[in-house]
Amino acid sequence: MPANSFASQLGTTPLGFGCANLGGRLGPRKSQAILETAFDAGIRYFDTAPLYGYGEAEGVLGRFLQGRREGLTIATKFGIAPPPRSLSLKIKKSAARAAVAVFPQLRKTIRRRAERMTSKGNFTVSECRQTLRNSLRELRTDYVDVLLMHEILPEQITPELVDFLEGVKQEGLVRHYGTATTAHNTVSIKSRQVPSGEVAQFPSSVFDNTLQMLSGEDAFKILITHSALGEKFRALTESLKSNRELCSEWSSQLGFDCSYVTKVGALLLAAAMRDNPDGVVLFSSQTENHICENAALISDRRFSEEQFLALKKLVRAFLEHPARQCA
């Protein structure tokens, strides 16, 4: 990684693990196993939020951090509150996990219902102060490395909020702060020159490269991207599985068998890291083998420049000709 990169400055990894599934889609035991796998594979950056896992993810990560805190970089957020914890919610979570295990198609419906239980736009100074206090308690730490305004709009960033964030940074409770919102909002914050800290976290991938809109001297100092393996990747994997002609074309151009979609995923993630060499790229997985294969990208330069160039051409054709996606 570049010597002056954000990862180098913090002594962390340019690839980070997203903890959105901990305590929600994954039960406590599986959540701990996944964190152990990511850690053993070399991941040292972990991204969480009070919202994740119906409010359980920070606590799960906090238990994992014991005895490891000094070697890890932890990012959390504020602005979206999870539903209040209750026995009823715990029972509903267990039932939802069981239902999705049998009927995966229910996942989107359950996610939409869960989103209706959250409270968004909580960006007053008092709400920020209380959320940060709660996060530090849940994470069992006295500081976080990165604190992000979760899904914030440009007009919600007030001078009072920025003053508060600068204050907790000076106190040592937060090392860096910034935004974690949509690509559109991130670009708007930049173009309006709204004071918002030095970190910007947003989705970017080979399918939709937002990074190219956020380059330049006046851009954010620290860029954290996610969703390299998002919905468009899932659509691609389905097409590669069902369309032999498409799979053959991709395999020929990339030089490996693209029916092994985990390798395609690793290439997409490597491309995201290549596009954001000074920042951090987040990914998430519930499969230990996939975590290990992706984490190996930190030191394993298995893909060539020719493969990255071929990938961009193939993705462009895939997006331009949706009729070819199905057999």
Domain borders along the chain are 6-82+118-228+276-302
Rounded to the nearest 5 degrees, what angle is found at the Cα of 317, between the Cα atoms of 313 and 323?
A: 165
Model pLDDT, residue 296: 96
Model pLDDT, residue 106: 47
Model pLDDT, residue 327: 47
Model pLDDT, residue 28: 86
* Residues in Cβ contact with 210 at an 8 Å cutoff, skipping those fewer than 6 apart: 183, 186, 187, 202, 203, 204, 225
Q: What is the mean pLDDT of each run of 10 residues along the chain (327 residues)?
A: 62 93 86 96 97 92 95 96 61 50 51 63 95 98 97 96 98 97 94 92 95 73 93 93 95 96 95 94 94 94 95 95 57
Euclidean distance between CA atoms 187 and 202, whole angstroms: 10
Q: Bridge partners of 18?
A: 47
In the numeric block, the tokens 């860029």 are attached to 223
Tell me the whole-structure pTM to 2 decimals.
Answer: 0.88
Model pLDDT, residue 100: 46
Superfamily of domain 6-82+118-228+276-302: NADP-dependent oxidoreductase domain (3.20.20.100)
**Which value, in Å, is the radius of gyration of the alpha carbons in the chain?**
20
